Amino acid sequence: MATATDQNFQDYKRAEAKALEIMRAMKATSPRTVDLELALLVAIFELHKPTLPGPTVAKIIQGHLDVLVSHYARPATPPQPASKPLP
């Protein structure tokens, strides 16, 4: 039997899959990344519009970004071996 945490994660993964599907469809609508970014942010504000003021929604988004940035950070480039001096 799935725990509440397991169920929450499964719900999240279904929502994430749907969001990525929508994002792929949006790419066919506009080639401009900024259009897609703003549209997705507007959707988040609209999601919360009935219950939260804009500044609170912005704080929620910033909190999520703080978590996601470390997840999507590029790994450090491995150091290159030192070149050998010429003979």
In a domain, 76, yes or no: no
| Residue 25 resides in a domain | yes
The domain containing residue 25 runs over which residues? 14-71
82 domain-assigned: no
Decide if 36 is inside a domain: yes
What is the total count of domains within the chain? 1
Q: Is position 67 within any domain?
A: yes
Q: Does residue 4 form part of some domain?
A: no
The whole model's pTM is what?
A: 0.71
Asked whether residue 3 is assigned to any structural domain, the reply reads no
Q: What CA–CA distance (Å, rounded) separates 67 from 74?
A: 14
Residue pair 63/46 in contact by the 8 Å Cβ criterion: no
E strands within 1-87?
A: none
**What is the mean pLDDT for each group of 10 consecutive residues in the chain (87 residues)?**
86 95 93 94 96 97 93 73 60
Look at residue 1 in the predicted model and tell me its pLDDT: 64
Please check whether residue 79 lies inside any domain of the structure: no
